[in-house]
Amino acid sequence: MNAAPYPVVRLRPKAEARALRHGFPWVYSDELVTDRRTRALAPGTLAVLEDAERRPLGLVAVNPASKIIARMLDRDVGAVIDREWFARRLERAQALRTQLFDAPFYRLSHAEADGLPGVVIDRFGAAVVIQPNAAWAEAHLDTLAQAVSDVTGAEVLVKNGTGRARGLEGLAEETVALRGTLDGPVPVPMNGATYMADLLGGQKTGLFYDQRPNHAFAARLAPGARVLDVFSHVGGFALAALAGGAERALSVDASAPALELATQGATAMGAADRFATRRGDAFDVMAALAEEGETFDVVICDPPAFAPNRAALEAGLRAYERVARMAAKLVAPGGYLVLCSCSHAADLTRFRAASARGIGKAGRRGQIIHTGFAGPDHPVLPQLAESGYLKAVFFRLTE
């Protein structure tokens, strides 16, 4: 029985309802009965999901244009998705973060893992960036933004409507201030370093909080070291290393604006004299550094997702192997190599194997001393492997 004024959508007879009952949050397009009525639903429409025997499973958001045709919002089919509903989930998410961090700089919502499917929210002190990466979140953005404001007290709210996920949902790209104004990049204190986050023009939400614990571990290797940070963005590992006592750090990235923000961060933390940048394609720059005979005590490579999906997995693994091979040649004897992947399609075992092959092909040998993942403000939904995407493998090269 439909307990609320929502349309009803139904699983196909052979679809697996058990996974949904046990917490899996998605229904794929080939699992749902897509008759003319279902196909006519506007992207983001709320509906009651039933199994093939017409037993209710929960309240979902439907997008007939997406491969993920339905996202579970609430087990209560009579739930009302209003400001109070959003506020309850945001308050629960914020309670975890305030227990973990002593300053309001963190990921506030990690989408499905925080009960807000497709909704990424990063907090930067008095400013908050919302990424509505699913059609239902776009449709409810005003209500969501009000709840974010009420819960956080944020003076500035930014909608960052960019990225691959929105394209898969059929959503247009748009980045705009929803309320308040920004005078420039926002300084973000993290691991003793200062990062400059461009909330309106930067990549993603302006800063990657997920690497925070891996930055901290790398900083433990940094005292007195020469550090190379490849695919540096706004100076992630390099600035953490400087805060940890590195002798000097070099950031490499293809983006001039990102490197400028990294330089501003180094200046803000009083480390500009120990910091340098080099703009260019990461592979070209690593090749040039090798030709110049440069070596570093700590080399970190944190590339973009080379394997964003299964179709790209094999090519992505070859790219990770190439990164490892080129980077290993730049590590001084007894030094450290940190290799990262944010590709959920490349699991830890396959990524680690590709990295080890690359190190071996460079004529180097080593030991793994640490494996890191995303910080606790990026919780993992156990039923959804995609929510645990980040890997960072720390090697000590012994030969």
Tell me the DSSP string of 350-362: HHHHHHHHHHHHT
Query: Hey, which residues does 103 pair with through a beta bridge?
Result: none
DSSP 232-243: -TTTHHHHHHHH
Q: Which CATH number fits domain 8-74: 3.40.50.300, 2.30.130.10, 3.40.50.970, 2.40.100.10?
A: 2.30.130.10
Query: Hey, which residues does 366 pair with through a beta bridge?
Result: 397
The string over 251-268, giving b where at least 16 C-beta atoms fall within 10 Å of a residue's C-beta and e elsewhere, is bbbebeebbbbbbbbbeb
Domain span(s) for CATH 3.40.50.150 in the chain: 192-397
Dist CA 84 CA 64 (whole Å): 27
The residues near 160 (Cβ < 8 Å, ≥ 6 apart) are 129, 130, 131, 175, 199, 204, 205, 206
Tokens coding 48:
């009651």
pTM of the model: 0.95
DSSP tag of 104: S
Question: Which residues are identified as catalytic?
Answer: 342
Q: Which amino acid is at 334?
A: G
Tokens coding 280:
């260019």
Kindly report the CA angle at 319 between 314 and 322, in degrees rounded to 5?
130
Q: What is the largest CA-CA distance in the chain?
A: 72
> 3-state DSSP helix/strand/coil percent for the chain, to nearest 5?
35, 30, 35
DSSP tag of 299: E
Tokens coding 300:
């970190």
* CATH placement of domain 192-397: 3.40.50.150
Dist CA 170 CA 132 (whole Å): 12
Question: Phi, psi at residue 39, to the nearest 5°?
Answer: -65, -25
pLDDT tens across the length of the chain (399 residues) = 444 589 999 999 988 888 999 999 999 999 999 999 999 999 999 999 999 999 999 999 999 999 999 999 999 999 999 999 999 999 999 999 999 999 999 999 999 999 999 999 999 999 999 999 999 999 999 999 999 999 999 999 999 999 889 999 999 999 999 999 999 999 999 999 999 999 998 888 889 999 999 999 999 999 999 999 999 999 999 999 999 999 999 999 999 999 999 999 999 999 999 999 999 999 999 999 999 999 999 999 999 999 988 899 999 999 999 999 999 999 999 999 999 999 989 999 999 999 999 999 999 999 999 999 999 999 999 999 888 899 999 999 998
Q: Do β-strands 226-230 and 296-301 pair in parallel, antiparallel, or remain unpaired?
A: parallel
Dist CA 220 CA 216 (whole Å): 7
Q: Which of 230, 266, 177 is nearest to 340 (CA)?
A: 230
Q: End-to-end alpha-carbon separation of the chain, Å? A: 68
Domain 83-179 superfamily per CATH = RNA methyltransferase domain (HRMD) like (3.30.750.80)
Helices (H) and strands (E) counted in the chain, each on its own, are: 12, 19
Strand ranges of the sheet holding 226-230, from the earlier edge strand across to the other edge? 275-279, 248-253, 226-230, 296-301, 331-341, 391-397, 366-372
Dist CA 55 CA 177 (whole Å): 43
Helix (H) or strand (E) holding 381: none
Domain span(s) for CATH 3.30.750.80 in the chain: 83-179
